[in-house]
Structure 1
Amino acid sequence: MSAAQVSPRIRAEQVPGRLFGTPGTLLSMLIVILALTLGGCASKPEEPPPVVVSQATWRQVDRDIAAASLAATSQARRYAQDSMDRWMDLIYQRTDSEFLPWFSSFWTRKWLSIKVGWYRLSSDGEREQTVNRLAAYLQEEYDEQVLQPVAREIDPDDIMEQATRTYIQQLDERLQVIPQRFGVPGDQFAQHLQKIPAIELAPPGQRASLYQVLKADPLEKLPAYASLMGQIRNAPNGAGAWTTDDGLSRITRDTSEQLESELATSGAASVATSFMGRVAGPILSLGFTGVSAMLHEEGRADREATLRKSLNQAFDEEWLELMRNPDVGVMAGVIHLSGQVEGSLTQTKTQPIQFQPLPQVIPAQ
């Protein structure tokens, strides 16, 4: 083959446009690249448009929130009442088993007569001071024998705080099903709960939304909640002040007045022995003590029954006060939270649904 025949073919293959092969091959590559590009764009998921919740739906949500609050309050009240019933039972039991036998015993009366004599001597015979000091002594004994042991087992202050926690727990469980019920996105429902007040105290800044109360963990770390519990506990007539209730103070004072009058004549035996000799005196004193003990036992049952009736009546009144007082009773925390929550939803004109007692597992509607 001659050089003239080879050179044209070599020059044609060295043309830059022919480096990728034939024109058909290049077109095929472009089609493949374009298809891959379009396929990638088609496979990218599109973001759904934001869900717009109508005002009518929000009114239904508020209606159910108010209904959930009512149901949670009912559950908390049930817990508080059951706990207060147990508290009262323990008070009655220790009063019968500890205080009444001590108070009505013969030797306690002897000891009280000595204290009355000492109170009179130190108060220059003034009866009012003697009665007050004797009443304070009886109150101290009742605290040590009855109230303090019961408080170590169950206490109205603790019942108040646990009732508040019960309300929050029950409300949280009921609110969890509301977003699914009405198709409300979780983030929008959370924002809605942040607008509902739950704690609103007098000092500025002592407030918390319903969302904050439900999400606080632990609950006592929430400043507004800690302030609410402290305000109720430290109130002058709060649940923690039941040991100094007016009813108990009145009973101890009435009892001390009666004792002061009865024991005023208890020195008759010592006066009688002063006229006897040194030998006859102790003999007469022992005989007088034996006779006094026998006479004392005859009226012991009546004295116990009278005091028991007075104490039971005082604690019945105290029980009602602790259950009903909306500011300082065992339901004070629940009433504050539920009042804030339900009060902010009063613009809902529809009647709230009455929930049935909460089952262990709430079926989704």
Structure 2
Amino acid sequence: MNRVKGPLATCPLVDWMPLSKLPNEPAMLNLRALIIALLVAVAGCASKERPPEPPPTPVVISQSTWRQIDSDIVAASKDATGEAKDYSRELMQRWRTLVYQRTEAEFIPWFSSYWTRQWLTMKVTWYQLNAEGAKYPAVDRLALYLQEQYQDRVLEPVAKEIRPDWIMAQTTQLYVRLLREQLQDIPPRYGVPLDQFDNRLQDIPAIELEPGASLYQLVTAEPIDSQPAYAALVTRLHNIPGAAGTWSAQAGITPVARMTSESLVTERTTRGVAGAVSAMVGRAAGLVISLGTAAFTAMLRENERPKMEAQLRSNLHAAFDEKWLDLVHNPKTGVMAGVYALSEQIEGSLASTVMQPARYEPPAQEQPLQEPPPQVVPPPDGQPMQRQQGNSDDEDSYQLW
């Protein structure tokens, strides 16, 4: 035999030479090189002759597993909603604290100061002159002016740091991020391929507002507000009357403005009477009367200032707290409006497919077993029937003897 037999002989990569023609050099280096070449040739032939692997068998997920997955998606949405709610309460509490602090430091001292009262007196006079003597229109115009001052001195400076519409946007994005994190843990839990799970999320509507978005499109958008349907939802929520960021202090300022306007009208009337009297009695006496009236008015204002500040503080805080509670709890116009809009849509879409807990049904009440009456077997002909007392006091048994 002068050629290598077996699979090496059929390999097209190597032109095998007869063993008799192999060199006789005893050098180990040449021998090792030959062995390596043979091994490479064998590996190449084996790789070419290996049959192709069959395609992987697709993983089939049962309907009960998909129902359980839907239940986990609903649970993830509820958990994300709870955490987003706690986050919004913390931010709203911070906003309220800043508004209280700035109201106390900026608006109340300004409103109750002497020069502000002088300026308000001039405005009330001007309002009345342009209202043909009507009293309440002047009060309403003064309330509007004070509302603008409250907006400029309190709400807008605080809004540069934090405001309700910003809180709503941050809370909604937090909900989406938390939901995204929890959804990533579901496929490994049930051994579901990622592509099948993504297709399932594609079938769940998250936003119906045009152009619409599925749950997959919502949780994969980065940044979140780049998703067109999400941006349309936020815009619609901001434009709802009474939504976050549209609060005004008119309800809290109007009672104080009315009281202030009435007192300013009284002061203006007193000044007019004092001016008329001083003109009648002469320059020297009139000067004394005018100075006395001004001193009395200033003293009266200073005495009324603590009461006025307390009344203003009470009215503003009451109106603010009422709106604050509405912004916290109202599902349509509050800071959680975006979260509720998304969670209700997602959870409602899965309401008919989630796995419901098994209902408890009490076992049917068993009827007590009733023993059949004793059967009397007639004796054969010619045999007497013998009566025997049984174990029970009210039952008789019969035996044949």
Determine if the alignment matches structure 1 residue 304 to structure 2 residue 309.
yes
Instruction: Confirm or deny that 1:269 pairs with 2:271.
Output: yes
1:83 correspondence with 2:88: no
CA distance in 2, matches of 1:60, 1:38: 47
Report the CA distance shift for 1:270/1:77 in structure 2 as closer, same or farther (over 3 A): same
Q: SS state of the match for residue 266, structure 2? A: coil
- 1:92 positional shift: 0.8
Q: Give the Å deviation of 1:287.
A: 4.0
Whether the aligned pair in 2 keeps the contact of 1:196 and 1:341 (CA below 8 Å) is yes
CA shift digits 1:265-318 (9 cap, x unpaired): 212124313443456655643443233222222221122112211111111111
Give the AA of the match of 1:259. Answer: T
Letter of the 1:87 counterpart: W
Within 5 Å, give how 1:100-139 maps onto structure 2.
100-139=108-147
Taking the aligned partners of 2:219 and 2:51, their CA distance within structure 1 comes to 41
Offset from partner CA, 1:184-241 (integer Å, 9 cap, x none): 011111111111111112xxx3310111011112222211111100001111221121
SS in 1 for 2:267: coil
Following TM superposition, by how much is the alpha carbon of 1:261 offset from its aligned partner in structure 2, in angstroms?
1.6
Task: Specify the alignment match of 1:290 in structure 2.
Answer: 295
Instruction: Check whether the contact 1:270–1:285 (CA below 8 A) recurs between aligned residues.
Output: no
- 1:82 to partner: Cα distance: 0.5
Distance change in 2, residues 1:279/1:50 (3 Å) = farther
> Number of matched residues?
323
Distance, in Å, in 1 between the alignment partners of 2:261 and 2:91 is 38
Identity of aligned residues (%): 47
Looking at structure 2, the residues matched to 330 and 25 of structure 1 have their Cα atoms a distance apart, in angstroms, of: 84
Distance 2:7 2:86 in 1: 80
TM-aligned CA distance change 1:116 to 1:55, over 3 Å: same
The DSSP-based 3-state class of the residue aligned with 1:329 is: coil
Whole-angstrom distance in 2 between the partners of 1:230 and 1:342: 23
SS of the aligned residue for 1:336 comes to helix
One of 218, 239, 242 as aligned partner of 2:244: 239
Q: Is 1:189 aligned to residue 197 of structure 2?
A: yes
How big is the shift at 1:50? 1.0
Tell me, in whole angstroms, the C-alpha distance in 2 between the residues paired with 1:150 and 1:323: 18
CA distance in 2, matches of 1:140, 1:90: 18
Whichever residue aligns with residue 254 of structure 1, its letter is: P
Which residue, 60, 68, 77 being the options, matches 2:76?
A: 68
TM-score by length of 2: 0.75
Q: Structure 2 CA distance, aligned partners of 1:229 and 1:236?
A: 14
**AA partner of residue 249 (structure 1):** Q
> 1:223 aligned to 2:231?
no
Aligned partner letter, 2:48: G
Name 1:256's counterpart in structure 2. 257
Contact 1:273–1:282 (8 Å) recurs in 2: no
User: What CA RMSD, in Å, does the superposition of the two structures yield over aligned residues?
Assistant: 2.4
Q: Which moved more, 1:340-349 or 1:277-286?
A: 277-286
Give the whole-Å Cα distance in 2 for the aligned partners of 1:78 and 1:250: 29
Structure 1: distance between partners of 2:243 and 2:114: 37
Corresponding residue for residue 355 of structure 2: 349
1:157 is aligned to 165
Scaled by the length of structure 1, the TM-score of the pair is 0.82
Cα–Cα, structure 1 residues 165 and 26, in superposed 2: closer, same or farther, change >3 Å? same
Radius of gyration: which is bigger?
2
Aligned amino acid, residue 74 of structure 2: A
Answer whether contact 2:70 2:355 (CA < 8 A) is retained. Answer: no
- 2: CA distance, partners of 1:317 / 1:325: 12
Indicate the residue corresponding to 2:394 in structure 1: none
Kept in 1, the 8 Å contact 2:252–2:317? The answer is no
Return the alpha-carbon distance in structure 2 between the equivalents of residues 161 and 28 of structure 1: 72
Hey, what's the Cα distance between the residues in 2 that align with 1:236 and 1:28?
A: 85
Once the two structures are superposed, residues 100-149 of structure 1 have per-residue CA deviations (whole angstroms, 9 ceiling, x without a partner) of: 11112232222211111111111111223212211111111111111111
Between the aligned partners of 2:167 and 2:8, the Cα distance in structure 1 is 80
For structure 1, the residue ranges without an aligned partner over 5 or more in a row are 1-21, 352-365
1:317 aligns with 2:317: no
> CA deviation digits over 1:37-84, x for unaligned, max 9?
665343754432111111111111111111110110011101110000
CA contact 2:164–2:244 (8 Å) conserved in 1:
yes
2:206 alignment partner, SS class: strand
Q: Distance in 2 between matches of 1:27 and 1:151?
A: 87
Distance in 1 between residues matched to 2:159 and 2:78, nearest whole Å = 30
Matched residue SS, 1:94: helix
Partner Cα separation in structure 2 for residue 108 and residue 212 of structure 1: 56
